Amino acid sequence: MDKASLSYGQTIDALKAMQNAKKSYGEIVQEGTDMYHRLCQEMYNEVSKTNGDEYYTPAELELIRLERDTWSLVRALYIDKNEPPTTSATPQALLQRNPYTPTVAIVQRVMDHEPTLQRLLTVVNWLHDTAPAASTSTHQSGYRRRTQREIVGARQAGQARAGLPKSLDPDALNRESGVSLYPDDAAAEASLSYDLFRLVRAGRLNEALSVAADAGHPWLAAVLHGSRPFQWTAVTSRDAGADSESEANASTAGWQGNKRRKLWREACLQAAASPTYPPATRALYASLCLTSRSIPAVTPLLRTWEDHLWARVEMLLTERIADWLDHLGGFWENGMKASDPQSSAKLQDLPDENQWLGDVDKLVREMGNVRVEEGAASDNAFHFAQLHLVLGNVNGLLDQVASTCTSRAEQDSREPVPTPAVDVILNEYIRLLETDPSSGPLVALYVGALGESAVE
């Protein structure tokens, strides 16, 4: 039995089992999505082996990966979308009760009450989960060793070493003009920055912290750690129904994260724009706080379509949350005056939500024309589907696919195609299945489901 026949057999068995169980529509969609994702993963794992070239070309293998990742996105957004509506307090009410509420709790309330932010966060997590494994180089432990030897040697000889900094702290290159590290050290730091950037891109911050520390750059590990938002459960206002046990356990550890994240973010933005840093280092700093100011520093290192989508969605997410925090006030983000209800301190107005939603739509749709260096192009059908899923435009996706199928059917001079989008797509899928003799039982199942809407 070939792999196509095996896949058809697994599909029809799973669909029949769901049909006989008489489950609800939501359960069928959920289990069906899981099934297709699992089948794609199993097929991808199988053909990725040494003998996979007997059945699939690299381009076909890429299509299997894209389909697997698309089902993964459907699954993530479906689960997120069907969670019960939040009943938690608004961020304004939370700060009114306690102006010292930590940043994590405020951001969570903002997420609870702005569904588009929840969707974007789901997309970022999906892009982290589906990112290729970041292969890091072996970095020798030590901090600017060759530069240090050159400086020490010159001082012992009573000579000045032209072109090298006078000190070796991380900011030395920014303070002194016309100096640089010894070439070996400069290349090593550029390589380390690139590997750390790929780990941040994949959402593997803990691993990035370990790599930086092991390479003898604890200050860089501290910069990475600054991306963690401030949380302190002991002073967080508790909502009704909260998990008191987990909160009690968290409170025993004291506060965690960055209490001065606003200052840290501005420092990262300035570092991302500094011409004294190599491109990989600027990209690393920019990736930690992606905004319209820092995204140009990241762009040269974005190679795949997914990389570009990650940068744009992360930027939209970061800027919207920053706008909310500036608007809400609170002690940890805006200081004592902003946390005082009697203060006349002027808080920043929150940008209009409709305007922001328009920016989201515009930036995501522009992904249809992005040029990529690796992987599938931006006009790939799976990328087209993913964009509509990101925007929450499933009906628009079905209508456009149905319109394409209808145009093809008319060109073939076949019988009129039924108008409902789902029926159009299923009929076109049945036609494709009919070209494979082994898919007969699956064709019969789909034809039976369409009933009178099936095209003979």
The average pLDDT across 202-215 equals: 93
Whether the per-residue pLDDT at 400 is higher than 70: the answer is: yes
Chain-centre distance of CA 204, in angstroms? Answer: 11
As a whole number, the mean pLDDT across the chain is 80
What are the distances in angstroms from CA 183 to CA 147, 230, 358? 9, 38, 47
Please give the torsion angle defined by the CA atoms of residues 143, 144, 145 and 148, in that order, rounded to the nearest 10 degrees: -120
The average pLDDT across 239-267 equals: 65
The average pLDDT across 276-291 equals: 94
Give me the pLDDT at residue 282, please.
95
Give me the pLDDT at residue 298, please.
96
Q: Which of 203, 235, 217 minimizes the C-alpha distance to 103?
A: 235
pLDDT tens-digit readout, 413-447: 455 544 566 677 667 767 777 777 766 666 776 66
Give me the pLDDT at residue 145, please.
86
What are the distances in angstroms from CA 101 to CA 179, 239, 253, 320, 415? 45, 12, 17, 19, 64
Least confident of 34-43, 204-213, 281-290: 34-43
Give me the pLDDT at residue 304, please.
95
| This model's pTM is above 0.95 | no
Contact of 76 with 87, CB cutoff 8 Å: no
The Cα 402–Cα 181 span in angstroms is 59
Whether the per-residue pLDDT at 252 is higher than 70: the answer is: no
Q: Where is pLDDT greater, at 134 or 269? A: 269
pLDDT tens-digit readout, 45-69: 877 765 545 667 788 888 889 999 9
Q: Where is pLDDT greater, at 135 or 203? A: 203
Q: Where is pLDDT greater, at 240 or 83? A: 83
